[in-house]
Amino acid sequence: MTHEVVNQAPPRVDLNEYLINPALTEAVDRYGAGWATGRLTEAGALTGRADFQRDAELANTHPPVFTGHDRWGHRVDAVEFHPGYHRIMGAAIEHGAHTSCWAEPRPGAHVARAATFMLFAQVEPGHACPVSMTHAVVPSLRLAPEPAAEWLPRVYSRDYDPALRDGKASAIFGMAMTEKQGGSDVRANSTRAVDAGDGTWRLTGHKWFCSAPQSDAFLVLAQAPGGLSCFLVPRVLPGGDRNVFRIQRLKDKLGNRSNASSEIELDGTVGRLLGEQGRGVRAIIEMVAQTRLDCVLGSAAGMRQSVAEAAWHVRHRSAFGALLIDQPAMTAVIADLQLEAEAATWTAMRLASAYDSDDGESVAFRRLAVAVGKYWVCKRGPNHAYEALECLGGNGYTEAFPLARRYREQPVMAVWEGSGNVIALDVLRAMAREPESVQAVDRELASALGVHPVYDAHVAATRKLIGEVAADPASAAASARRVVEALALGLQGAVLIRQAPAEIADGFVAARLGADRSLEYGALDPRLPLARIAARA
């Protein structure tokens, strides 16, 4: 009897991850995608299944393997994945986590697609990278009618075929911008493009980070005679020959293990110009905006996984004579983690909803708000994962439980598509060059005034800070992070006050905006309805 197992939480499996996530279900309904409830319920049931979670584990414990040459010495540049990875990719594509909002446009389509993406990313985040890039490439493809006619039907497909071959009916896209010498400064790129005179170009150079090199095609930035330009680079050429796409190695990363990130070399590689010469940043920027939104979605999904796993453990684990969840200190921690996860989820859905309309107000709002949300939500992810991990004690620190993997995963969203300073400076750029974006976000903040004096004071302080930055552009960069944090907290407060249940809005305002606010999880005012907040986890 010495090895009888007692007082351990049962496996957290076979739960519907959509139906038991009140923040997500409520936000989907509030932002016009209630019609997708059936589809999301199906996806929630799938992602909660034990076999799906096992595939997520296998995809990370058996990461992708690069093979440069076959046994006879031919260059193959192949990346092989565990079958569990392919099963997850196939399921995500089948459920429209990639391009359903583009392929089937209707009110709320972007919200429904965002929620689907979050359900899959909650359990296995690595595959979300190629899914996200395939979603995000659509606006850039639309800049060139001929490539659009060829590729859009393939990226809209709900079929997943990992083979690299000519004539496929479906396609997955990647992106290659970053180079060794430039990083986020893409105008320092040295990759060159030469006009081949037949409607194609020949690209030569390197890329320091190229995620999902197994993809069917990529958007690549290169220097043409007219300046930095954007090119569509397929892995397989018409007729079946392989394009020159030399994978040098896979990156050995902190997390994101199931996703293959690589260094590549191009040497006379065939590409097709998207948009105009010299307008490469313009051509690819909408793709970047979409992937930034998916960083928010991915971080919010990670927060949901973190707090859900922590809450499950403390509801089934006893110590010192009572369930952990019923002990005030733990109730406060779970409630605080839930507030953070809800703020991230509601904000993510609000940002997604801004893409369901292309009117001037929506375009202006998302220009600034997506960058603000990306900075703050992604920045909060790692510490949130750590606190949730700690709730599991020693179990949380082992690879047998998913929170160790999540803890290593969360930082990537804060780095991908612009790390902290890059995003903060981009916010300043938008404020200076597109003042209508500031006005749109300010109207969002103003819409929640008059309910909470603490929130009203935060908005007043934020407006003052924005005014100071505008009055002294030379010193603005030093205050960039303060501005973005203030805007992000204000945006989250506005969304929650207007849309979320009262206990969530009240709790967030008290915990994050008050004079005695604390970013240390669990330091909540005990007068808040902590048990009701924690019950939503």
**Mean pLDDT, rounded, of the chain:** 96
Angle at 282 between CA 279 and CA 284, to 5 degrees: 110
Angle at 159 between CA 153 and CA 163, to 5 degrees: 100
Query: CB-based contacts of 98: which residues, under 8 Å, 6+ apart?
Result: 92, 131, 132, 134, 135, 155
Q: Which residue(s) pair with 65 in the sheet?
A: 80
- Number of residues in the chain: 537
Neighbours of 265 (CB within 10 A): 16
444 class by beta-carbon count within 10 Å (0-12 exposed, 13-18 middle, 19+ buried):
buried
Q: What is the pLDDT of residue 188?
A: 85
pLDDT in tens, 86-132: 999 999 999 999 999 999 999 999 999 999 999 999 999 999 999 99
Taking the C-alpha atoms of residue 269 and residue 241, their distance in angstroms, rounded to an integer, is 12
Residue 515 has pLDDT above 80, yes or no: no
Taking the C-alpha atoms of residue 115 and residue 33, their distance in angstroms, rounded to an integer, is 9
Closest alpha carbon to 233 in 183, 186, 280: 280
Q: What is the pLDDT of residue 185?
A: 84
pLDDT in tens, 195-226: 999 999 999 999 999 989 999 999 999 999 99
Q: Between 102 and 515, whose confidence is greater?
A: 102
Taking the C-alpha atoms of residue 192 and residue 198, their distance in angstroms, rounded to an integer, is 17
pLDDT in tens, 230-241: 999 999 999 999
Q: What is the pLDDT of residue 517?
A: 73
Q: What is the DSSP letter of 231?
A: E
pLDDT in tens, 272-286: 999 999 999 999 988
Taking the C-alpha atoms of residue 131 and residue 57, their distance in angstroms, rounded to an integer, is 18
Q: Answer yes or no: are the C-beta atoms of 123 and 56 closer than 8 Å.
A: yes
Q: What is the pLDDT of residue 520?
A: 80
pLDDT band at residue 2 under the 50/70/90 scheme: confident
pLDDT above 70 coverage of the chain, percent: 99
**What tokens does 19 get?**
């139906």
* Rg of the chain in Å (alpha carbons): 23
Residue 176 has pLDDT above 90, yes or no: yes
- Measured N-to-C along each axis, helices 435-446 and 453-471 cross at an angle, to the nearest 10 degrees, of 170
Taking the C-alpha atoms of residue 299 and residue 102, their distance in angstroms, rounded to an integer, is 23
Q: Answer yes or no: are the C-beta atoms of 304 and 387 closer than 8 Å.
A: no
pLDDT in tens, 63-94: 999 999 999 999 999 999 999 999 999 999 99
Taking the C-alpha atoms of residue 348 and residue 505, their distance in angstroms, rounded to an integer, is 16
Taking the C-alpha atoms of residue 324 and residue 347, their distance in angstroms, rounded to an integer, is 30
Q: What is the pLDDT of residue 514?
A: 78
pLDDT band at residue 1 under the 50/70/90 scheme: low
Please name the amino acid found at residue 299.
S
Q: What is the DSSP letter of 3?
A: T
Strands 173-176 and 217-224: parallel
Q: What is the pTM of this model?
A: 0.97
Taking the C-alpha atoms of residue 465 and residue 375, their distance in angstroms, rounded to an integer, is 18
pLDDT in tens, 282-315: 999 889 999 999 999 999 999 999 999 999 999 9
**What tokens does 75 get?**
């260059």
Closest alpha carbon to 18 in 40, 46, 49: 40
Residue 268 has pLDDT above 70, yes or no: yes
pLDDT above 90 coverage of the chain, percent: 93
Q: Which residue(s) pair with 266 in the sheet?
A: 205
**What tokens does 174 get?**
């990647």
pLDDT in tens, 42-68: 999 999 999 999 999 999 999 999 999
